[in-house]
Amino acid sequence: MNNRKSTVFAGILGENIVLSSLMVISPVIVCGNTLKNAEALIYAFNSITFLSVFISSFVPRKIPYALKVIIYALISSIVYIPVRMAASEFFPDSITRIGIYYPLLAVNSLIVFQSEAKLFRMKRGKMTASLFFYILGFDAVMLITGFIRELFAFGTINGKIVDIDTTISGLSQPFGGFIFLGIMCGVYRKIRAAAYRNYNDKRGGADVSDK
């Protein structure tokens, strides 16, 4: 994999926005306790983030930083309106499930800060591809979290009862979300360090520190 490709795909493993940068973790911790919630969050996050960042990329870069941040937040707040209207039409349950985290997704760090620091420095084509993989990284974490927490907290998968001996009800609570995400974050770092070590070994490069 060359550098250019690895930068584009970084959003999935190397720079996963949840596990690496700890962005957008509040909805994952509180709402990511069932697969249905995860699906609702994925729909909201994907549509709001992709549209907002893409539209925001047309904002002139010469504007002062503080004003740009406000403009990005306003754009995502405007994008939120049709996304929410569509959700109330097609997935009415999703709004009640996510609650106040629905509007909060619109002011997530990826839209407001990370886009300015990283994405808008790229050419639009590469930015769109990177954004796609950042979003995919979030979706993967959300699905894994929703699946495991639902299975072990409620003994169900997507609402269907599964034959499981032990359930840990605390896993559905916010404190369970904190602890689960912490453990997942540690495991992710281990995997990432191993993956990059293998990659460097193949290239005969130097070791990558685990930061």
Partner 1 sequence: MFLINDFIALLAANLILTQALGTSTLFIAANSRRNLLRTAFVITVFTVFGSIGAYFADRLLPEKYSDLRLLIYTALIGILYVIFLSALFFISREKFEKSRKYIHISAFNCAVMGTLFTINHRAAGDSSFMNLKSYAAAGLEAGFGFILASLILTAAYRKLNSAKVPASFRGFPAMLVYLGIISMAVYTLK
Q: How far is CA 167 from CA 34, 98, 174, in A?
A: 14, 23, 16
> For partner 1, what does the binding mask look like between residues 88 and 107, x meaning CB under 8 A?
-----------xx--xx-xx
| Choice between 109 and 158, CB closer to partner 1 | 109
Q: Does 74 bind partner 1 (CB under 8 A)?
A: yes
Cβ proximity to partner 1: between 128 and 172 the closer is: 172
d(CA 61, CA 57): 9
Q: What are phi and psi of 25, to 5 degrees?
A: -90, -20
* Nearest alpha-carbon partner for 114 in 9, 188, 11, 193: 11
Compute the distance between CA of residue 29 and CA of residue 47 in angstroms, rounded to an integer. 20
> What binding mask, one character per residue, do residues 121-150 give for partner 1 by CB under 8 A, x or -?
------------------------------
153 binds partner 1 (CB under 8 A): no
CA distances from 8 to 118, 151, 177 (A): 11, 33, 29
Residues that bind partner 1 (CB under 8 A): 22-26, 29-30, 65-67, 69-70, 73-74, 77-78, 80-81, 84-85, 99-100, 103-104, 106-107, 109, 112-113, 170, 173-183, 185-187, 189-190, 193, 210
